[in-house]
Copies of this chain bind each other. A is one copy, B any other.
Amino acid sequence: MLKLERAKVFRDPIYGYITIEYELFLKLIDTYEFQRLRRIRQLSGVSMVFQTAEHSRFTHSLGAYELARQCLIQVEGLAEALTEYEQLIFLASAMLHDIGHGPYSHAFEHVMKVSHEQMSINLILGDTEINKRLKDIPGMAEDIANVIGHKGKYPLIESLVSSQLDVDRMDYLSRDAYFTGAAYGNIDYRRILRSMKVIDNKIVCRASGVNSLESYIMARYHMYWQVYYHKKAHAYDLLLQSIYHRIYDLAENDIKVDASCEELVSVMKDTNDLSSYVLLDDSYVNGLIKQLTKSSDLILRDLALSFEKRSLFTPLEIDSEKASFVARTIYDKMNPKYRPYYYFSTSVRQTAYLHSDQSLNYDINDIKILDENNQIQSLEDYSPIIKGLILSGQKEIKRIFYKEPLCMVK
């Protein structure tokens, strides 16, 4: 496990520096697949509303890695609980957890029916530069794929990489808040890390850190409603989704799209076509859409023009009988062949805090508190605030989005 003689650092506004201590990570960063994340924005359509949120998945991936590194320093008992090899697995999983993201990822996943986690695993195990670098240490690629796929081999590492309180979420909340300029995501990650402790190979948080956890959970909640679920950003992502969807439908029917998008179509037919997949990024899609504004397929042309002119779908919140009626009327009046691309019935929901439910035998995500008497409780039992948030139930907003196809108007 070659340590660098002198650590290499990258400037970062969230942590001051990202510090790289092992050569392995420099090599991973240098791969084609990881560099590609520079060209995929972290927040897709959100930057149409919060215009400064132009940061990429590249910087978030480095951030998650750095936070993992700080866990090893700050979380009591963590470094001791892991061998050096396992520490590398932890750091690498944090760095690579988003490697499988495609351009405008949510729209992409929706049409492709494959999760970005699965794509991450494919890229880690497939014929890629990443895989070549990892192979230097036998078993490493498989073990990282295990962690990202939640296979249970390294439960402690899994819980730190992906749970309700993990390095992924802590980094993206801080980072997205910084780059949007929102005041909500300001979480006190240092205090959270300091309150964490490994007991019986599990992460627990000392009671002294409960306020920071409550704050973190609220920050997450607010970022979802204020930023990630913003109506306009949502409408923008749906437009992308329609474009993907139409290309997919044409491809299914063996109709050639009159624009250069072989790689995209190839991936749509086989998500294991990694060499095509890694060529997809925001530039690819933006470039394609520009071509599509001249497409002979009227729907594609219309969607592409809408994208270029930022003529987004209209949102309608379904919060009353009357609104439902209006929605139904819009639906009914729309030509059925346009509906899949121009009418969306959606629902955004967010529970401030997920708690385990015995009846569902579901508990991996629960945050555990080590109370003043050294007993372990669930966060919701310890914190009346969290209990209250659970009682408040899930907030859900039903929205439809729709649009008259432009090209059909005249």
Q: Does A180 contact B (CB under 8 A)?
A: yes
Q: Does A331 contact B (CB under 8 A)?
A: no
Q: Does A182 contact B (CB under 8 A)?
A: yes
Minimum Cβ distance to chain B for residue A320 (Å):
9
**In the complex, what residues of B have CB within 8 A of residue A56's CB?**
54
Q: Does A58 contact B (CB under 8 A)?
A: yes
Within 8 A of B (CB), among A283-334: 283-284, 286-287, 290, 308-310, 317
Produce 1/0 per residue, A204-216, CB < 8 A to B: 0000000110110
**In the complex, what residues of B have CB within 8 A of residue A179's CB?**
13, 179
CA distance A408 to B260 in the complex (A): 30
Q: Does A282 contact B (CB under 8 A)?
A: yes
Q: Name the one of B11, B76, B393 contacting A52, with C-beta atoms under 8 angstroms.
A: B11
Minimum Cβ distance to chain B for residue A58 (Å):
6
Within 8 A of B (CB), among A152-188: 178-184, 186-188
**In the complex, what residues of B have CB within 8 A of residue A11's CB?**
50-52, 180-182
Q: Name the one of B181, B260, B287, B385 contacting A392, with C-beta atoms under 8 angstroms.
A: B385
CA distance A212 to B221 in the complex (A): 12
CA distance A56 to B287 in the complex (A): 17
CA distance A388 to B360 in the complex (A): 23
Nearest residue, chain B, Cβ from A47:
B38
Q: Name the one of B191, B194, B389 contacting A385, with C-beta atoms under 8 angstroms.
A: B389
Given contacts A190-B16, A191-B183, A287-B284, contact A54 B47 (CB under 8 A): no
CA distance A183 to B193 in the complex (A): 14
Let me know if A51 and B395 touch, CB within 8 A. Answer: no
**In the complex, what residues of B have CB within 8 A of residue A225's CB?**
211
Minimum Cβ distance to chain B for residue A80 (Å):
14
Within 8 A of B (CB), among A362-410: 372, 384-385, 387-393, 395
**In the complex, what residues of B have CB within 8 A of residue A290's CB?**
279, 283-284
Q: Does A337 contact B (CB under 8 A)?
A: no
Q: Name the one of B10, B180, B182 contacting A51, with C-beta atoms under 8 angstroms.
A: B10
Within 8 A of B (CB), among A207-234: 211-212, 214-215, 218, 221-222, 225-226
Q: Does A116 contact B (CB under 8 A)?
A: no
Let me know if A221 and B385 touch, CB within 8 A. Answer: yes
Let me know if A51 and B47 touch, CB within 8 A. Answer: no
Nearest residue, chain B, Cβ from A35:
B310
CA distance A99 to B240 in the complex (A): 26
Q: Does A17 contact B (CB under 8 A)?
A: yes
**In the complex, what residues of B have CB within 8 A of residue A287's CB?**
283-284, 286-287
Within 8 A of B (CB), among A8-27: 9-14, 16-17
Let me know if A55 and B58 touch, CB within 8 A. Answer: no
**In the complex, what residues of B have CB within 8 A of residue A6's CB?**
76
Nearest residue, chain B, Cβ from A180:
B11
Q: Does A39 contact B (CB under 8 A)?
A: yes
Q: Does A352 contact B (CB under 8 A)?
A: yes
Minimum Cβ distance to chain B for residue A45 (Å):
12
Minimum Cβ distance to chain B for residue A257 (Å):
15
Given contacts A10-B51, A215-B218, A286-B287, 17 further A-B contacts (CB under 8 A): A6-B76, A11-B181, A12-B181, A13-B180, A17-B190, A39-B286, A51-B59, A51-B62, A54-B54, A183-B215, A184-B211, A186-B186, A211-B226, A218-B385, A283-B287, A352-B385, A388-B390
Q: Name the 3 nearest CB pairs between A and B, nearest first.
A: A388-B392, A13-B181, A287-B287
Please list 6 pairs of residues, one from A and one from B, whose beta carbons are closer than 8 Å in the complex, sorted by A's number: A35-B310, A186-B186, A218-B385, A282-B283, A352-B388, A389-B392
Residues of A at under 8 Å CB distance from B?
6, 9-14, 16-17, 30, 32, 35, 38-39, 47, 50-52, 54-56, 58-59, 62, 76, 178-184, 186-188, 190-191, 194, 211-212, 214-215, 218, 221-222, 225-226, 260, 279, 282-284, 286-287, 290, 308-310, 317, 352, 372, 384-385, 387-393, 395
